[in-house]
Amino acid sequence: MRFAVNTWFAERLGDHGIHSEFLADHHPVHMPCLEIRLHDWEQAAGEARRLEMRMVAVWAAEAGKHDISVSGSRALYVYMAFAHPEHRHALLRTRLRDDTREVQSISGHYISACRMERTLQDMFGIHVRNIPDSRAWIKHEHWPENVHPLRADFSVTRMSVEPERNAIDYDYVQSSSQGVYEIPVGPVHAGIIEPGHFRFLAVGEYILNMEERLGYVHKGIEKAMQGRTAEHGIRLAARVSGDTTVGHAWAFAHACEYASNTAAPKRASYLRGILCERERMANHIGDIGAICNDAAFTFMHMQMQRLREDMARMHADVFGHRLLMDTITPGGVCRDVDAVSCMMLMQQTRTIAAEVEHLRSIYADHPSIQERVIGAGTVCIADARDIGLLGFAGRASGDYPDERIEEAYPPYDDVEVRVAEGKLGDVATRIWVRFEEIADSARIIGQLLETLPEGDIQAAWIPPESGVSGFAAIESWRGEIAAWVRFGEGGCIDRYFVRDPSAINWLGLELAVRTVPVPDFPLVNKSFNCSYAGHDL
Q: Whole-angstrom Cα distance, residue 409 to residue 412? A: 6
Determine, yes or no, domain membership for 167.
Answer: no
Residue 243 sits in the same domain as residue 145: no
DSSP states of 187-235: SS-SSSSPP-EEEEEEETTEEEEEEEE--TT---HHHHTTT-BHHHHHH
Residue 145 sits in the same domain as residue 228: no
Fill in the DSSP letter of residue 39. Answer: G
Q: Which residues of 173-200 are buried (b: 16+ CB within 10 A; e: fewer)?
A: eeeeeeeeeeeebbbeeeeeebebbbbb
- Provide the CATH number for the domain around residue 529: 1.10.645.10
Residue 130 sits in the same domain as residue 265: no
Nearest CA among 57, 182, 56, 202 for reference residue 520: 202
Last residue of a domain, one of 118, 152, 186: 152
Q: Strand, coil or helix: what is 140? A: coil
Output the CA torsion sign for 514, 515, 521, 525. negative
Residue 7 sits in the same domain as residue 92: yes
Q: Strand, coil or helix: what is 81? A: strand
- Provide the CATH number for the domain around residue 146: 3.30.460.80
CA dihedral of 354, 356, 360, 366, whole degrees rounded to 10: 120
pTM of the model: 0.94
Output the CA torsion sign for 402, 405, 409, 413. positive
Last residue of a domain, one of 124, 152, 180: 152
Residue 313 sits in the same domain as residue 421: yes
Q: Whole-angstrom Cα distance, residue 372 to residue 292? A: 9
Residue range(s) defining the domain that contains residue 388: 221-535
When computed from its CA atoms, the radius of gyration of the chain, rounded to whole angstroms, is 23
Query: What is the total count of domains within the chain?
Result: 2
pLDDT tens-place values along the chain, 537 residues long: 344 456 788 888 888 888 888 776 665 556 678 899 999 999 999 999 999 999 999 999 998 766 666 566 788 999 999 998 887 888 999 999 988 899 999 999 999 999 999 999 999 999 999 999 999 999 888 887 788 899 888 876 666 655 555 566 788 999 989 899 999 998 988 777 889 999 999 999 999 999 999 999 899 999 999 999 999 999 999 999 999 999 999 999 999 999 999 999 999 999 999 999 999 999 999 999 999 999 999 999 999 999 999 999 999 999 999 999 999 999 999 999 999 999 999 999 999 999 999 999 999 999 999 999 999 999 999 999 999 999 999 999 999 999 999 999 999 999 999 999 999 999 999 999 999 999 999 999 999 999 999 999 999 999 999 989 999 999 999 999 999 999 999 999 999 999 999 999 999 999 999 989 999 999 999 999 999 999 999
Q: Whole-angstrom Cα distance, residue 479 to residue 399? A: 12
Residue 227 sits in the same domain as residue 147: no
The letter for the amino acid at 376 is A
Q: Whole-angstrom Cα distance, residue 525 to residue 520? A: 9
Output the CA torsion sign for 439, 444, 447, 449. negative
Residue 233 sits in the same domain as residue 356: yes
Determine, yes or no, domain membership for 529.
Answer: yes
Q: Is the peptide bond before 411 cis (omega within 30 degrees of 0)?
A: yes
- For helices 113-124 and 502-512, what crossing angle results, to 10°? 130
Region of residue 286 (left: phi > 0; alpha: psi -120 to 50; beta: else)? alpha
Determine, yes or no, domain membership for 160.
Answer: no
Q: Whole-angstrom Cα distance, residue 149 to residue 157? A: 12
167's CB contacts (< 8 A; 6+ apart) are 141, 142
Determine, yes or no, domain membership for 184.
Answer: no
Residue 140 sits in the same domain as residue 236: no
